[in-house]
């Protein structure tokens, strides 16, 4: 494990850097990538940024997002070092990871406790609320001046991964870093509006459809929702636009585990998980080949229908919670 100071020193030894973040990127993924990328550019480095799949429209306001290039345009041998952000396992950066030549080091910066430590250098800190917090420390250690553009990206990263400082991962350090970023010009209310209040009418109608599927089991501790592929085409949406829906299932009083089952374009069932109690959904998702945090996690299951996936997952959740199944 490397410290943020060591990571800063390592990054500055290289000139051509490739930064990659995870598939279906969220605010922390894109914000921490842009924050680091813009910071390294200020140091005169040649930086390329990429991520598998598209960038959600509501994150494209961040400065530098027009520099992000599609994975299929990346030739990994053209870089001296690869930096992976917010990605707990190589599967999260599919399409880039496999093409990294053996001689090119990987720097793995992440705050997931389930991180597999796949980097040549690893800076993993599960006490950080967001990868954006870690990137802030690395930039300071590199003596980068945090300008308005970097502040907007890192504030977005930290604010989105903490639910605007409401989630249990929010610490005094989180708030101190956020305060610094606001001093540099990041505007919390403007950023909140860009991220959360620029939805399409269709995505809200879709939320109505998905909320209709919300159910709670007989113990009252498990709530779940379902998303079917033909609904996405009906509303002309892609899967990314159902991001955040699972949080509604967690709002039900008494619920400890909230789940969303989604039919994915690749034929898999994607499961989003949230916890409001002691149940560690990150550790649970890891047993199913996914990962995440204690209170927010996810995984994909192959070759199953939503009802099969539900049966499998509920059985395991009941077992861990010591509840009798139906
Ligand atoms: P979300 O439900 O917001 O997409 O994801 C919640 C958290 O779980 C995020 O920190 C995300 O990185 C992680 N996560 C979601 N799906 C997967 C997955 O399939 N594999 C891994 N390793 N982590 C996931
Ligand atoms: Mn994150």
Domain segments of the chain as ranges:
4-196, 201-321
The domain defined by 4-196 folds into inorganic pyrophosphatase (n-terminal core) (3.90.1640)
pLDDT higher than 90, residue 303: no
pLDDT tens-place string over residues 5-38: 999 999 999 999 999 999 999 999 999 999 999 9
Q: For residue 186, what are its two tokens?
A: 């990041």
Residues 123/126/130/135 CA torsion (nearest 10 deg): -20
Atom from ligand 1 closest to the CA of residue 24: 4
DSSP E strand stretches across 62-166: 68-69, 81-85, 106-110, 121-124
Instruction: Choose one of 291, 299, 300, 302 to mutate for the ligand 1 pocket test, by most ligand atoms within 8 angstroms of C-beta.
Output: 291
DSSP letter at 223 equals E
- CATH number of the 201-321 domain: 3.10.310.30
Atom from ligand 1 closest to the CA of residue 297: 8
| Helices (H) then strands (E): counts for the chain | 11, 12
pLDDT tens-place string over residues 90-142: 999 999 999 999 999 999 999 999 999 999 999 999 999 999 999 999 999 99
- pLDDT class of 323 with cuts at 50, 70, 90: confident
* DSSP characters over 152-178: HHHHHHHHHHTTTTTSTT--HHHHHHH
pLDDT higher than 70, residue 312: yes
Shortest-distance ligand to the CA of residue 31: 2
Phi, psi of 94, deg, nearest 5: -55, 140
Ligand 1 in reach of 290 Cβ (< 6 A): yes
3-state secondary structure of 118: coil
273 CA to centre of ligand 1 in angstroms: 8
22 CA to centre of ligand 1 in angstroms: 9
The pLDDT, as a whole number, for residue 324 is 76
The pLDDT of 230-242, averaged and rounded, is: 92
Ligand 1 in reach of 282 Cβ (< 6 A): no
How many angstroms separate the CA atoms of 36 and 139, rounded? 7
122 CA to centre of ligand 1 in angstroms: 19
pLDDT tens-place string over residues 31-90: 999 999 999 999 999 999 999 998 999 999 999 999 999 999 998 889 999 999 999 999
19 CA to centre of ligand 1 in angstroms: 19
Ligand 1 in reach of 299 Cβ (< 6 A): yes
Q: State what percent of residues in the chain have pLDDT above 70.
A: 99
DSSP E strand stretches across 207-295: 215-216, 222-227, 257-263, 269-275, 291-292
- pLDDT class of 265 with cuts at 50, 70, 90: confident
């Amino acid at each position: 494990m490397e410290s943020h100071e060591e990571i800063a020193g390592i990054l500055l030894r290289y000139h051509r850097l490739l930064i990659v973040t995870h598939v279906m990127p969220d605010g922390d993924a894109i914000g921490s990538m842009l924050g680091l990328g813009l910071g390294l550019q200020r140091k005169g480095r040649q930086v390329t940024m990429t991520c598998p799949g598209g960038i959600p429209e509501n994150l494209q306001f961040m400065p530098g997002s027009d520099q992000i290039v599609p994975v299929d345009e990346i030739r990994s041998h053209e870089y001296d070092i690869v930096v992976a952000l917010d990605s707990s396992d190589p599967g999260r950066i599919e399409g880039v990871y496999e093409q990294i030549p053996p001689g090119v080091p990987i720097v793995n910066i992440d705050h997931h406790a389930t991180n597999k430590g796949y980097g040549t250098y690893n800076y993993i800190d599960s006490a950080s609320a967001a990868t954006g917090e870690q990137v802030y420390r690395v930039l300071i250690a590199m003596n980068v001046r945090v300008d308005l553009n970097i502040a907007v990206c890192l504030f977005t990263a930290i604010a989105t991964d903490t639910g605007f400082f409401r989630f249990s991962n929010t610490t005094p350090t989180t708030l101190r870093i956020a305060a610094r970023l606001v001093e540099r010009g990041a505007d919390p209310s403007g950023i909140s509006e860009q991220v959360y209040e620029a939805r399409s009418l269709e995505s809200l109608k879709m939320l109505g459809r998905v909320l209709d599927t919300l159910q709670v089991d007989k113990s009252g501790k498990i709530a779940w929702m379902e998303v079917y592929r033909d609904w996405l085409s009906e509303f002309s949406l892609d899967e990314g636009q159902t991001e955040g829906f699972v949080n509604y299932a967690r709002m039900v009083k008494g619920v400890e585990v909230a789940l969303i089952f989604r039919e994915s374009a690749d034929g898999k069932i994607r499961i989003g998980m949230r916890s409001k109690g002691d149940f560690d959904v990150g550790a649970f998702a890891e047993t199913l080949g996914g990962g995440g945090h204690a209170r927010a996690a996810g995984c994909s299951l192959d070759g199953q229908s939503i009802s099969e996936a539900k049966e499998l997952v509920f059985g395991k959740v009941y077992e861990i919670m010591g509840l009798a199944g139906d």
